[in-house]
Chain A
């Protein structure tokens, strides 16, 4: 009988006892039996001393391997049993949650707080609803067509560099993505209006957007925007400028004004950026506004005929304007939040301030 066969049998026996264990107590006992001081393994180890150095080394290695195997088996079985026992406890502890007796749950002495972004979004929505806008929403995941193509930004268009895009492994490479702006909701709205024959559109579209920016004090890769779209008869750039001005005063206060300056967006023409009076210095000039008295808030413009073409609206019959800006940015400006990252840390001391 060679010593190697001996060890194989030893491991097999141990394996049988280990898998026979059913409870935590079982496995504790088995562990002692197969690996304890009086186990065959320990006996064999003690017998090593009597062997010549060559045989001792060889058998020692085999015993070490056997020990490792048995320990691992014990540990695995122990975890299995612990999990099964926990499942059983939880199963037996299941209760009928419809046995709820009103008045038995302690109510909170304090009220919770809506997130500052929600409060800002609600306030912005309310201002626009008061100005005659509906509120529309769209999906976070879009196809290239809705986020770019229909907005007059074909593949490889240099303007795509304006948005660092998160693409998704869905369908063809770079065909689906997380929307980089709320503008695709415009396309959904216009397409639906064309299909249903219910133009005009007067809507704002708030929502979550994604850009592959490393987070810093002024940027988050996940952020919120609100977009506006008006498509109606006789709508002009004057209506756009007027709407921005009325909104600015209504949201920020009557001493805050707006101004437009030329800019480029592929989906509007003419395009503009809009700035509002610096809310810190009220136009006097300070560090926040780089002494200009103005803070850039968002982009806007008249809907580009290429966009109307993509959704099938006749640009000679209908004209429209669109605008968009950051909800988080509004909150940051209004509440003087130095670091944007405070918005998604979820520190209760921050949440409770608003």
Chain B
């Protein structure tokens, strides 16, 4: 909201440096976004008449202009083309200093000397128009040589651009800002009293309103208070300069004296009003009712609006308040926008003024449903003052009587239809509670003194001296403060007002202390470790979009339905991702297109699956299937499935996972993507005593492997040989992986290190293809028991020698005892035990 200082001064004698006032407004929560000085540097600008316009040889943008500013011809060069000979324009002569400190000098352009500058509204910092220069022909009494400020009625002023919080409808007005500011500065604040009837024009007190119009309210639930005034003998015309200038400073265009008066009142007092042309209202009156379902109206902006239909929002049953003429024809959407049919026109002579209170929630819903937000609806939905209506209507009548010609006459009386409007909130406020919440030591009387200047009255009902923290105040919040709730919540609202008027910056500070230690959970620490492992493998962390399109979902291999966004920003981002692979592949492509495609990337994030059962009770929590996953793609030179496998080994080692398995080719892999050479990862909880490749109980952890080259290729991720890049890929459900119950870790108890020498034993087996090497390794480890220090696969070989459907797997076993050196018999015994364990079941044989 733009607030001119001169306007604020109508309410209290504000003085001093604008920057200081700005800081005070900030500290009151009326945040000043910009302080603009207006009219400064305009003292040197004069009115000039254009006498001659000539082209300059060799120039097609600028022209030579001769003007007269009262004492003879002055030649200037100008780049604007929006004026003609005879027009009055503002001239900044040589030596003038314009707003912003720009000094006008004598310049030569294309051989023509320019002795000054013709100015645009933007150059004078008066309007945003920088296209053409200002043409002042319509300015009353303007003449060449006159000071520009004098002709325009401009005084130097300061405009504060203030962001008003949504809960402060009262402060969304000049008077409201002035009230808060005056309270803080200890200045007297007064709203001048207006008498709407006494201020009538020469016509004197007009006829009684009842003889001129009628109003009926059929729905007092949507419109609890409606008042009407009538002004007759109105001559519609331009507003006086001072009024138009104030509106312009506040950021509004001057339209005509009637509309301007309405806008002026809204800016000044925060109360919207709506003037109707009484002669264009069928039946000469108004009826306020609820819109029927599907009823239509053409609003002032020329759009046909359909009303009375339930909207998509929660609890939106489609209740719109409709203003109709006495014959039932809609003439406006109550509190939102008027209709075109009864708009004030040049020929309007009788004005019916509506000043009303509409129910904020209903206005909010109507405005949202129609996507129609106006100055009026924005104010009504926040809550206008139902008791501020009379003052606003009076002020309107006063302004119109001043501006609408000598025949203007305000009809006597007001039509006032009053239902259930909010009343002042009364509640008890404990001084002890104020101090408990603020950490202060205010007495009840100090609190009362802080509240009084902002219009909140506080009466001491229990004095401070009746005991420690005894003070209790009976507080009454005026109707212009709808943000203050009744007890018990309202006590906090009053406490905020105490803090605000006292000044947040003056409140005490202390660092609280409590006995509970701060910490990360085990899960959070493990997750950090996981990321560090990936970094150690040369992978950098990416942040890819949560929103994906159809192609990404297909690529992820997830079956529909997907969770869909109702209102996506773009069509290609209409779903929530089911996998992070597409995002990471896109990130690789982004880098590849910049000749830096040799990357390893990972992301830890949430993926979303459509829930199996729809949400039931919203208070039960989120109705969707979400899981936190780690996804990595390995796309550096030479990377492939084995890079991802190595990464998994590093992770399993860092997390000390007790036992895990990788399902062999042909085994069930995850269905999340068309993959190539992939394997499912699982944590092994229980295996049968000595069966190869069989697991009794395991928990799925994710997938490791290589992306389908067909997909990689179709995305355009190609290697130097023109073929699809090989991309190793790892995708883990870390919610499960880091859960120490479903995924047991190695025991915390330390194992002593043997001080006796160890012996290595190499064993090669021919193993059926359907038995994973990991199963053989597990069988060996089990058979070796405590005396097997390590086992490692060191050679894989396929060929005729081994036979069809089998391959040779060679393991190196390191054997060692904790308390002696193993002798030959013991080693032989261990060897045969290990061989027997692998050969049992007939799926493998020692070579």
A residues whose Cβ falls under 8 Å from a Cβ of B: 86, 90, 93-102, 104-115, 117-118, 122, 125, 128-135, 139-146, 149, 155-159, 161-162, 166-176, 178, 188, 200, 202, 208, 210, 212, 214, 221-222, 230, 232, 234-239, 241-243, 245-246, 259-264, 266, 269-273, 302, 304-306, 309, 315, 319, 343-349, 351-352
Number of B interface residues in the complex (CB < 8 A): 136
Q: Is B544 an interface residue (CB 8 A)?
A: yes
State which residues 609-663 of B face A: CB under 8 Å.
Answer: 611, 614-615, 618-624, 626, 636, 638, 641-643, 645-646, 649, 661-662
Question: B477 contacts the other chain (Cβ, under 8 Å)?
Answer: no
Collect the chain A residues with CB atoms within 8 Å of residue B368's CB: 156
* Residue in chain B with minimal CB distance to A272: B504
Complex CA–CA separation, A144 to B512 (angstroms): 33
Residue from B488, B532, B565 within 8 A of A305 (CB atoms): B488
7 nearest A-B pairs in the assembled complex, by CB-CB distance:
A108-B538, A262-B29, A238-B439, A98-B774, A236-B439, A94-B665, A264-B165
Cα of A169 to Cα of B568 in the assembled complex, Å: 11
Shortest Cβ gap from A131 to chain B (Å)? 6
Q: Which of A98, A141, A222, A239 contacts B664 (CB 8 A)?
A: A98
Chain B, 493-533, contact with A by CB distance < 8 Å: what is the 0/1 string? 10110011000110111111110111111001000100110
- Contact indicator B772/A208 (Cβ below 8 Å): no
Report the bound CA distance from A117 to B647 in whole Å: 23
Q: Does B381 contact A (CB under 8 A)?
A: yes
Q: Are A118 and B312 in contact (CB under 8 A)?
A: no
A95-B665, A105-B646 given; A238·B507 CB < 8 A: yes
Q: Please report the C-alpha to C-alpha distance between residue A102 and residue B495 in the assembled complex, in whole angstroms.
A: 67
- B157 contacts partner chain A, Cβ-Cβ < 8 Å: no
Q: How distant is A264 from chain B, measured CB to nearest CB, in Å? A: 4
Decide yes or no whether B437 CB sits under 8 A from chain A: yes
Write out the residue numbers on chain B whose beta carbons fall within 8 Å of the beta carbon of A234. 436
Q: Output the least CB separation between A319 and chain B (Å).
A: 6
Residues from chain B with a CB closer than 8 A to the CB of A260 are 504-505, 507
B599 at interface (Cβ–Cβ under 8 A)? yes
CB distance from B496 to the nearest CB of A (A): 4
How would you classify the secondary structure of chain B's contact residues: helix, strand, loop or mixed? Answer: mixed
Is B509's CB under 8 angstroms from A241's CB?
A: yes
Distance of A128 Cα from B439 Cα, bound (Å): 22
- Of all chain A residues, which has the CB nearest B588? A346
Residues in chain B near residue A174, CB distance under 8 A = 312-314, 566
Interface positions, chain B 288-316, Cβ under 8 Å from A, are 312-316
Tell me if B710 is interfacial: C-beta within 8 Å of chain A: yes
Question: In the complex the two chains form, is B510's CB within 8 Å of A239's CB?
Answer: yes
Q: How far is the CB of A81 from chain B (nearest CB, A)?
A: 14
Given contacts A108-B537, A168-B565, contact A131 B518 (CB under 8 A): yes
Which residues on A sit within 8 Å (CB–CB) of B772? 96, 98-99
Contact A135 B313, beta carbon cutoff 8 Å? no
Contacts of B587 in A (CB 8 A): 346
Q: Is B560 an interface residue (CB 8 A)?
A: no
Q: Tell me which residues across on chain B come within 8 A of A235, comparing CB atoms.
A: 512
Task: Give chain B nearest CB distance to A54 CB in angstroms.
Answer: 48
Query: Does B156 sit within 8 A of A, measured CB to CB?
Result: no
Known contacts A100-B649, A105-B642, A118-B541; is A112 also within 8 Å of B536 by CB?
yes
Pick from A230, A269, A273 the residue with the most CB of B within 10 Å: A269
Distance of A347 Cα from B360 Cα, bound (Å): 48
Known: A101-B796, A239-B512. 18 other contacts (CB 8 A): A93-B677, A94-B666, A97-B645, A98-B777, A105-B642, A107-B646, A108-B538, A113-B535, A140-B546, A168-B624, A170-B611, A174-B314, A222-B546, A237-B439, A241-B509, A262-B29, A263-B29, A264-B167
Query: Which of B589-597, B737-745, B815-823 lines the interface with chain A?
Result: B589-597
Q: Indicate which residue in A93, A202, A270, A319 contacts B516 across the interface (CB closer than 8 Å).
A: A202
> B570 CB to closest chain A CB, in angstroms?
10
Complex: how many Å from CA A159 to CA B819? 74
Answer whether residue B830 sits at the interface, using C-beta atoms and an 8 A cutoff: no
Measured CA separation A185–B512 after assembly (Å): 22
> Least Cβ distance of A13 to chain B in Å?
33
Could you jot down 6 A-B contacts, CB within 8 Å?
Answer: A112-B541, A143-B621, A176-B618, A241-B509, A242-B509, A319-B436
The answer to whether A270 and B623 touch across the interface, beta carbons within 8 angstroms, is: no
Q: Is the CB of A110 within 8 A of B538?
A: yes
Q: Select from chain B the residue with minimum beta-carbon distance to A264.
A: B165
Which B671-691 residues have a C-beta within 8 angstroms of A?
676-679
In the complex, the answer to whether A344 meets B774 with C-beta atoms within 8 Å is no
Of B115-123, B196-204, B787-795, the one contacting chain A is B787-795
A262 & B499 in contact (Cβ 8 Å cutoff): yes
Q: Establish whether residues B642 and A104, one from each chain, have CB atoms under 8 Å apart when the complex forms.
A: yes
Known: A237-B439, A238-B439, A243-B511. A166 touches B565 (CB 8 A): yes
Contact across chains for B774 and A158 when beta carbons are under 8 A apart? no
- Residues in A with CB closer than 8 Å to B314 are 144, 155-156, 172-175
Contact A142 B622 (CB under 8 A): yes
CB-based contact A319/B437 at 8 Å:
yes
Quick one: which of A98, A173, A343 contacts B662, CB cutoff 8 A? A98
Inter-chain contact total with CB atoms closer than 8 Å: 365
Known: A176-B615, A346-B542. A167 touches B566 (CB 8 A): yes
- Residues of B within 8 Å of A236, CB to CB, are 436-439
| B430-462 to A contact mask, C-beta < 8 Å, 1/0 | 000000111110000000000000000000000
- Closest residue of chain B to A222, judged by CB? B546
Closest to B365 in A: A156
Task: Decide if A115 touches B313 in the complex (CB within 8 Å).
Answer: no
In the complex, identify which listed stretch (B92-100, B279-287, B551-559, B600-608) lies at the interface while the others stay far away.
B600-608
Measured in the bound complex, the distance between the Cα atoms of B362 and A156 in whole Å is 8
Given contacts A107-B538, A305-B488, A352-B540, contact A158 B382 (CB under 8 A): yes
Task: State in angstroms the CA–CA spacing of A132 and B512 once bound together.
Answer: 10
Nearest B residue to A99, CB-CB: B773
Q: In the complex, are the beta carbons of A237 and B636 less than 8 A apart?
A: no
Q: Which listed residue, A114, A118, A122, A158, touches B166 by the CB 8 Å rule?
A: A158
B608 partner residues in chain A, CB cutoff 8 A: 140-141
Q: Is the CB of A155 within 8 A of B316?
A: yes
Q: Counting CB contacts under 8 A, is B395 at the interface?
A: no
Confirm or deny: B705 has a beta carbon within 8 angstroms of a beta carbon on chain A.
Answer: yes
- In the complex, what distance in Å separates the CA atom of A141 from the CA atom of B606? 10
- Would you call A99 and B793 a contact (CB within 8 A)? yes
Residues of B within 8 A of A264 (CB): 29, 165-168, 483
Query: Which residues of the other chain, A, contact B514 by a CB distance below 8 angstroms?
Result: 132, 200, 202, 232
Are A202 and B518 interface neighbours, CB within 8 A? yes
Cross-chain contact B541 with A188 (CB below 8 angstroms): no
Shortest beta-carbon distance from A209 to chain B in Å: 11
Question: Any chain A CB within 8 A of the CB of B44?
Answer: no
Check A348–B543 contact: CB distance below 8 A.
no
A58 to chain B: closest CB distance in Å? 42
Could you tell me the distance between the alpha carbons of A66 and B674 in the complex, rounded to whole angstroms?
Answer: 36
> Distance in Å from the Cβ of B57 to the closest Cβ of chain A?
43
Q: Provide the residues of chain A in CB contact with B236, threshold 8 Å.
A: none
**For B509, what are the chain A residues with a Cβ–Cβ distance below 8 Å?**
238, 241-242, 245
How far in angstroms is the closest Cβ of chain A from B818? 25
Q: Which of B492, B540, B611, B678 contacts A351 (CB 8 A)?
A: B540
Most buried by B among A130, A212, A236: A236
Contact of B520 among A125, A161, A305, A351 (CB under 8 A): A125
- Tell me, yes or no, whether B27 is within 8 Å of chain A by CB: yes
* The one of B518, B524, B569, B649 that contacts A102, using a Cβ cutoff of 8 Å: B649
Q: Which residues of A contact B796 (CB under 8 A)?
A: 99, 101
A115 to B602, CA, bound (A): 10
Most buried by A among B31, B499, B605, B772: B499
Residues in B neighbouring A109, C-beta threshold 8 A: 538
Question: Is A170 within 8 A of B615, CB to CB?
Answer: yes
Which residues of chain A are near B517, meaning CB under 8 Å?
132
Q: B496, B646, B796: which has the most chain A beta carbons within 10 Å?
A: B496
Residue of B nearest to A206 (CB): B524
Whether A263 touches B165, Cβ cut-off 8 Å, given contacts A112-B539, A132-B518, A235-B512, is: yes
The interface residues of chain A lying within 8 Å CB-to-CB of B382 are: 158
